[in-house]
Amino acid sequence: MKFRKGRHREEPEINFIPLIDVMLVILIFLMATTTYSRFAELKINLPTADAEKVVEMPQSIQIAISATGQYSINNQVTTFGGQEAFAAELRRAAGGNNDPMVIINADSQATHQTVVNVMEAARLAGYSKLTFATQTGK
């Protein structure tokens, strides 16, 4: 039983033009929103040092700062009575040395102000060699 006599059947075809339009829009969107990380980095070559270690240790003043804000100079606990008074304590600890190395051992929980106080006192005492002691992460 053929009910459709004389009519031939049309084959379905896929229209690719809307698909191409959508793909071009997606491509333009991706190109506009992509970030290029190669511009966000600075390419630098760090210098290397091949110097030998210094055998002679210059005279140094060890200053320790606890997390609670207590100060000690060469393992002698002292109070901070102002920057001028602390500078006088540093001069006393240096003895006859004109420019000793000031090593600051600050607790990681110590406030920035306590460290800045020591740095300012060292400046007032005329000491220009400052360094900070750290520990290596294990």
The domain that contains 86 carries what CATH number?
A: 3.30.420.270
Based on the structure, what is the number of domains in the chain?
Answer: 1
Q: Which helix (H) or strand (E) holds 130?
A: strand 130-132
Domain membership of residue 73 (yes or no) is: yes
SS3 sequence, 54-101?
CCCCCCEEEEEECCCCCEEECCEEECCCCHHHHHHHHHHHHCCCCCCE
Domain membership of residue 29 (yes or no) is: no
- If you search the block for the tokens 């002679």, which residue do you land on? 56
From residue 62, alpha-carbon distances to 12, 17, 118, 122, 131 in Å are: 89, 78, 11, 12, 10
Taking only the tens place, the pLDDT of each residue in 35-64 is 665 554 555 566 676 667 666 666 888 888
Q: How many CB atoms lie within 10 A of CB 114?
A: 20
Specify the pTM: 0.56
Domain membership of residue 24 (yes or no) is: no
Domain membership of residue 1 (yes or no) is: no
pLDDT averaged over every residue in the chain: 80
The pLDDT value recorded for residue 19 is 92
Taking only the tens place, the pLDDT of each residue in 77-105 is 888 888 898 888 888 888 877 788 888 88
**Range(s) of the domain holding residue 87:** 60-132
Domain membership of residue 118 (yes or no) is: yes
Domain membership of residue 119 (yes or no) is: yes
Burial tier of 115 (Cβ tally within 10 Å: 0-12, 13-18, 19+): middle
Domain membership of residue 120 (yes or no) is: yes
Domain membership of residue 2 (yes or no) is: no
